[in-house]
């Protein structure tokens, strides 16, 4: 199959990359031996998904800078259809949660496979990802996509779920003053999701065109040049760069909450004294609930397609990734 492959040094288009191996437990097409201690059936079954669209995310660009020391096929944002798997999933249009838990540890048993210490992560940790014609996804990670959601919308499920995670972590009441730092893809989605709560959401960013997209969704916007420092109940740091943290920290009111969404390969150089002095709650926030994201897409409560910059064929994936890394680029999609 065709795939983009990262060997730790170079990203290459491979026209004959090895096919992923599906594994159907308690299913019809293939039975494999028991794998001690794990629940049988869905948790162990791995479906083969034909990728229809995959999204290039800043995490992918971080990976190409050495993040997680990953090698293999990158890509963790996708929509596709199941071509091998349990009968009830065959032919279904799906998105897939990206953390593949072991199914047997304490975290997995508590439904926290996103934090399984033995997990692999699609296109990020020891599992080939979606910049390919096919990707293997545990059946337990699949979510069917309602017909009312287009492929171009569904491919945003994973990043939108990450934005929805904020609402599972912190109570945001009507009238709360919330600052979202960063007008990139993640910042945009976070601002839209938080805006659904009735909070007063302000997005602070560098790019007039990206802020204009957010303004259309009812979010207040401020360009960095025009920033007048003031304090917010909640600040969401979604700049994707190490430099955002200091400004974010300075904008949280005493006893307020700072939510960190950026995952970056570098280190932060910032004093933590402000956190102590102002008694700031700091929350790390990563992957989130796919069901909530699909609900929001189905109800057209968030606008994601305006974030699409371009769709490239997979064979032009190198150019696509370069375009995604370009200054001010919006979402680049790959179509195998
Ligand atoms: Zn991502
Ligand atoms: Zn586990």
Task: Please provide the DSSP assignment of 280-292 as one string.
Answer: -EEEE-----HHH
Give the ligand with the smallest distance to the CA of 60. 1
At 96-140, the pLDDT tens digits run 999 999 888 999 999 888 999 999 999 999 999 999 999 999 999
**Ligand 1 centre distance from Cα of residue 114 (Å):** 14
Order of strands across the sheet that contains 232-237: 220-223, 200-205, 177-181, 232-237, 252-260, 281-284
**Ligand 1 centre distance from Cα of residue 58 (Å):** 6
Give the ligand with the smallest distance to the CA of 158. 1
CA-CA distance, 96 to 33, in Å (whole number)? 25
Query: So what's the pLDDT on residue 34?
Result: 35
**Ligand 1 centre distance from Cα of residue 37 (Å):** 31
At 265-322, the pLDDT tens digits run 667 788 889 999 999 999 999 999 999 999 999 999 999 999 999 999 999 999 999 9
**Ligand 1 centre distance from Cα of residue 92 (Å):** 23
Of 4 and 40, the structure prediction assigns the larger pLDDT to: 4
**Comparing C-alpha atoms, which of 18, 21, 17 is closest to residue 32?**
21
**Ligand 1 centre distance from Cα of residue 146 (Å):** 22
**Ligand 2 centre distance from Cα of residue 43 (Å):** 11
**Residue 147 CB partners (closer than 8 Å, separation 6+):** none
Whether the pLDDT of residue 31 is over 50: the answer is no
CA-CA distance, 287 to 291, in Å (whole number)? 12
Percent of the chain residues past pLDDT 90, beyond the cut = 80
**Ligand 2 centre distance from Cα of residue 266 (Å):** 27
CA-CA distance, 78 to 314, in Å (whole number)? 13
**Ligand 1 centre distance from Cα of residue 76 (Å):** 6
The pTM score is 0.91
3-state SS, residue 154: helix
**Ligand 1 centre distance from Cα of residue 94 (Å):** 17
**Ligand 2 centre distance from Cα of residue 126 (Å):** 15
- Mean pLDDT within 256-273: 84
Percent of the chain residues past pLDDT 70, beyond the cut = 94
**Ligand 1 centre distance from Cα of residue 2 (Å):** 21
Whether the pLDDT of residue 263 is over 80: the answer is no
**Ligand 1 centre distance from Cα of residue 35 (Å):** 30
Query: So what's the pLDDT on residue 26?
Result: 64
**Ligand 2 centre distance from Cα of residue 204 (Å):** 38
Give the ligand with the smallest distance to the CA of 61. 1
Rg (CA), the chain: 20
Start-to-end C-alpha separation, the chain: 10
Whether the pLDDT of residue 153 is over 90: the answer is yes
At 36-85, the pLDDT tens digits run 334 445 667 999 999 999 999 988 998 998 888 899 999 999 999 999 99
**Ligand 2 centre distance from Cα of residue 187 (Å):** 30
Give the ligand with the smallest distance to the CA of 155. 1
**Ligand 2 centre distance from Cα of residue 9 (Å):** 30
């Amino acid at each position: 199959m065709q795939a983009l492959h990262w060997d730790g040094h170079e990203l290459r288009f491979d026209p004959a990359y090895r096919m992923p191996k599906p594994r159907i437990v308690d299913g019809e097409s293939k039975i494999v031996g028991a794998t001690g201690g794990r629940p049988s059936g869905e948790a162990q079954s791995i479906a083969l998904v034909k990728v229809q669209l995959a999204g290039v995310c800043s995490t992918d660009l971080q990976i190409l800078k050495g993040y997680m020391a990953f090698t293999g096929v990158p890509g963790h944002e996708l929509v596709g259809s199941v071509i091998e798997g349990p009968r009830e999933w065959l032919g279904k249009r799906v998105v897939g949660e990206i953390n593949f838990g072991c199914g047997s540890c304490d975290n997995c048993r508590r439904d926290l496979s996103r934090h399984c210490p033995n997990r692999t992560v699609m296109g990020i940790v020891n599992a080939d990802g979606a910049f390919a014609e096919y990707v293997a996804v545990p059946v337990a990670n699949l979510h069917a996509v309602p017909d009312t959601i287009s492929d171009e919308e569904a491919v945003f499920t994973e990043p939108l779920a990450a934005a929805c995670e904020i609402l599972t972590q912190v109570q945001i009441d009507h009238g709360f003053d919330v600052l979202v730092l960063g007008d990139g893809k993640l910042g945009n989605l976070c601002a839209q999701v938080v805006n659904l709560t009735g909070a007063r959401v302000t997005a602070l960013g560098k790019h007039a065109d990206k802020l204009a997209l957010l303004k259309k969704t009812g979010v207040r916007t401020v360009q960095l040049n025009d920033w007048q420092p003031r304090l917010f109940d909640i600040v969401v740091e979604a700049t994707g760069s190490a430099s955002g943290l200091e400004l974010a920290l300075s904008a949280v009111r005493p006893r307020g909450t700072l939510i960190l969404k950026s995952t970056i390969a570098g280190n932060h150089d910032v004093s933590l004294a402000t956190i102590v002095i102002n008694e700031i709650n700091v929350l790390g926030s990563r992957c989130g609930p796919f069901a909530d994201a699909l609900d929001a897409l189905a109800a057209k409560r968030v606008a994601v397609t305006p974030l699409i910059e371009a769709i490239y064929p997979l064979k032009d994936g190198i150019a696509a990734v370069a375009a995604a890394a370009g200054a001010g680029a919006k979402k680049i999609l790959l179509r195998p």
